[in-house]
Structure 1
Amino acid sequence: MRTGKLVSDPTVTVVSLDTVPAAVEIQDCLDATGYKLVYAKTRKVVPGTGAGRHLATATATRYPDGRWLISAGVAHEDQPC
């Protein structure tokens, strides 16, 4: 199970409102240093599951009914931030 807190502070980096469908690109630096994978029974950290800070990107698309939904997302664990 996971314990702790995953810290996120997303920023819109590209806005494309004149495209069909409209879309925005979002970039984030996910901080998982306080977010741990632990064994449920003992609460000990699972070896080899340490995490740090890494880049994440996502695309939000506006659908015909007016809702904005995340249509794509990637965690770039090889790119620290």
Structure 2
Amino acid sequence: MGANNISSLIKSCGYLINTSKKITDIAALCGFNNISYYNRDFIRIIKISPAAYRKAMQQANAVIAATKVTPKSEFDN
């Protein structure tokens, strides 16, 4: 696997996190013409499937959003 493929996989991670595009569309946008090849490389490098990655990142973002605390000012009562 070359550096271009790794770069394309990293780019696809951004799409998986930040869009609701279909995984097949993301693979094509990132230069993978074969969804099987994309899935195989994704699992080889990222260690989980693209769908599992998207779900895990959505859950992580939900937890982060739910735990954000607004700092109190010294003037708040």
TM-score range, shorter chain: under 0.3
User: Which structure's residues are more often strand, by fraction?
Assistant: 1
- Give the TM-score, by structure 2 length: 0.23
User: Which structure's residues are more often helix, by fraction?
Assistant: 2
Higher Rg of the two aligned structures: 2
